[in-house]
Structure 1
Amino acid sequence: MSVGDVPMVESQMEFLYFYNQLFQNGTGGGMDKHSDMAILVAVVDAGGFSPAARALNLTHSAISKRIQRLEDRLGAQLLTRTTRFMQLTEMGMVYVREARVILDKIQALERVVSSDAEAPRGSIRVSASNVFGRHFVTPALVGFLDRYPEIKIDLVLTDEFVDLKQDRIDVAIRIGRMPVVEHSCVKLGESPRTLCASPVYLDVYGKPEVRSDLVKHIRLKLNFDTEMNDLSEMTEPSLRGQASSRFTCNSVEAIHTACLAGHGIALLPDYLVAQDIADGRLISLFSPAPDSLVPSIYAVVNYKETLPARLKILLDYISKTLVAKAQGSPWWASVEASG
């Protein structure tokens, strides 16, 4: 079955079941036009009439009649179906895409209203960078799952930029300058960065004495557009972008490894290099960036309206866990010094 750009989401299926049950329990088991919409989305997500019928606790024939009733009312064919094949029509893809928006809003409203009456529940899809995600976000989420057993977490770790809408991310944990965006941003902490090199590299190429010397040195950079490649606060405008680069990668951890091995100078987060600097494996170059340029650790939330209770609780838990885990570490000392 082809469903175009209308991907399945587990929490959506859970809600469709709830929504269908709500109408089944009404007078005479009657369903209105909105439940027909929900059933169509269930069919698309389940991949067919039979699996959707099982998920919604309905018969195959009941599902078929609801889809037919919806098409008759709209005067448009939404599904092309044979005994072996089923595919959304072009109009069906448009309808399902917009139906998801409506159903998501109903689901969000139900959860916001009921959040004070019951324990937090539901699914949260979270994204974070690889290294920070493994060392800080993942431990926080594991503890969060222990405390809130009715919540499910779907974690995506990547160093590349994630589009919240396209990738259906509820919360993205990011590090950088907090932008003004259409989503809500919540500051969780700060993450200073240090320009550094290994003693081996500096023995061969010398230590830059002034910022303009950086153009004579080898840079280690990520191979996609990111603030991690930005040395604007450390160089004169006329000199930016002139430093050569022998190694690029899409992983901060790989850049860190290359830096330790003496292959160049890198701008790296303190949570990754603070211990190396304390132990002498890396040397910090120049003074820290001004406070106004210290990147923030922040969460971008894919909600324009009231946050569900589970997201509020998650953000508060991550923020407190981050501070508790970091205190006493060389990284936290750099955070306190920058703030």
Structure 2
Amino acid sequence: MAKVVLVTGVSRHLGGLFARRLSLDPSIERILGVDVVPPRHSIGRADFVRADIRNPMIGRIMAQSGVDTVVHLNVIATPRDTGGRGTQKEINVIGTMQLLAACQKSESVQRLVVKSSAAVYGSSPRDPAMFSEDMNPKSMPRTGFGKDSVEVEGYVRGFSRRRPDVEITMLRFANIIGPNIRTAITDYFALPVVPVPAGFDARFQFVHEEDSIAAVMLATTGPSVGIVNVAGDGFLTVNQCAALVRRPILPVPMSAAGLIGTMVKRSGLADFSADQVSFLAFGRGLDTHRMREVLGFEPRWTTRETFLDFARGLRPVVPGVDAVGGVVTEAAGGTAAALGRVFERIQS
């Protein structure tokens, strides 16, 4: 059972939420919150330790404190939050390598929990309807956060071979959203006009930020379960999401989607990569049987409820767009004629 827990990334939104939630568990004797900058939010009764997981000093912190459980939440999804793609990759990949090296040398570490991502499955037209944990991607992520997540998981698997005595749980989350968290997907659906690959209507699954923390808590204090997909029930399509946030859509040919993504990214409105454009075209589905049957986790929020909780915080940017929300939702199957009727009503 976890007694002394080290949590990485506590100065970020999810890390702070988790530290506060963990603080409520009386069975946890001590919590060490590690990050390179002091948190601006409460981290409960966690002791903040200013340290960089890319530095071998993290090993000394573990040894001095007798850490038995490491919760690695500092795998960063958006380069905007770190000052650029280069720093993001260093933190995600080099930081994870150093953290695992420290865990390998530690005599006290008994459990490792890693926040991973469904981005490891990639997105392609050859994908299965639902990815289970034992499936490999049809097209490997080639850039950005998805590629980082694949490398991080590879290092964790290597660590598990070297330290078979350490219990390991990796949670592959669908896109985490909510009213307070900012990610590439929330930035995308907050755009005044949502560009979508023409002729496609990808399916999405979401995880509410509160459910993500509850799942990490269970992975920390419950049984070790290996790799588990985590997603809310149900699906939403791109067009349905756009209707719920009351945004008009702009169909863009796939040949130009990369250019549009680059322009949006440079504008500072949202982060885009080639893999994110593929995700917007082809989507992704996660099989969550292991989440329920092995991890024993039941999300409180469905995919639709999660997105609605996020959408409530956004204002419409087009006058009268609420009137066309139902039509846009019906157009989720997406024919050109249906899209034309939607835009005619928006302009009237």
Q: Is the pair's TM-score, using the shorter chain for normalization, greater than 0.5?
A: no
> Which is richer in helix?
1
TM-score (norm 2): 0.28
TM-score (norm 1): 0.29
